[in-house]
Each structure stands twice: as structure tokens, then as C-alpha cells.
Structure 1
């Protein structure tokens, strides 16, 4: 798991219900590939995850990127890494 995936998953775990769709907060490998909605996160929770990443990495992520249906923590982490690479180029 990349450092960015770890950050996104940690931020997600803080906001997800104790147990949702058979996943617990301890099942990190499953969380990273499970869509945010199936993890029990509301749209406000997802916005908070994105805002935390924007602040940590000093980037901006447009709403249409993270409000796509079925977006996963891994996909969001990939988008964060792409934006960080563009910023440093």
C-alpha cells in the first residue's frame, strides 16, 4: 500500500461506521478497493477525506473527481498522486 493510500484509508476509517457491509475498520486491504458509499460514508464524509488530503498535500481536487459513482480509496489515492506529480513537475 502506498503512503497516499494509507493516508486515504486512515482518513476513511475515522469516518466510517464501526462495521458496514461486512467490513470492519481492521480490514484495510478490503477497504482500499471498496467504493466509499459501500463503506457507509456519506457525501459529507467523503468531502472531509478529500479536504484532509488537499490540506496535507497542498493540492486541489475538483468535485467531479471524487463525486463519481463507485470511487474507491485506491482511486482517490491515485488521483492525489497524479496531482502531486503534476505540481512538482
Structure 2
């Protein structure tokens, strides 16, 4: 069975994670790239893009916080920006 072994109760098989063969190392690298690195890169890119779009719109707008609509929009954009920062910056806290 090459780099596979029976798991727990013997109902299924899984990869030998500790093996040193070339196929096991390749499998681990491919899993790392496609299951972790690519999704994390996509999430960071999308979140940063959202943050910069909000930042650009905020700078471009003339701020008259006395108008109710402008104040409401400002508060919504501030809340979204804070949420994006929390998602990107504090991801490790949610994994505990």
C-alpha cells in the first residue's frame, strides 16, 4: 500500500504523514498549497481590496458629517473597515 495505512478502527486508510518517501512529501506539499496557501491568499487579497476601495471612496468624498445620510454612510464604512481589520489581523484568535 505504498504510503497508506489503515486508520483507527480499520474502516478507511490514510496517508503516512511521517513517511520520508518522495510521493508522501509531494502529497504534503500539494495539500499545503491547495488547501491552505491558495485559499488564504484569496481571502487576504479580497479583504485588502475591499479595505482599499472603502478607503479610496472615503478620501474622495467630501465629509459633511452634519448631513444624516453622510454620517450614516460614514459609520457603516467605518464598521466595515473595522471588520476587515479584525478578519485579517486577528485570525489567530478565532483558531484557539
TM-score strictly above 0.5: no
TM-score (norm 2): 0.25
TM-score (norm 1): 0.26
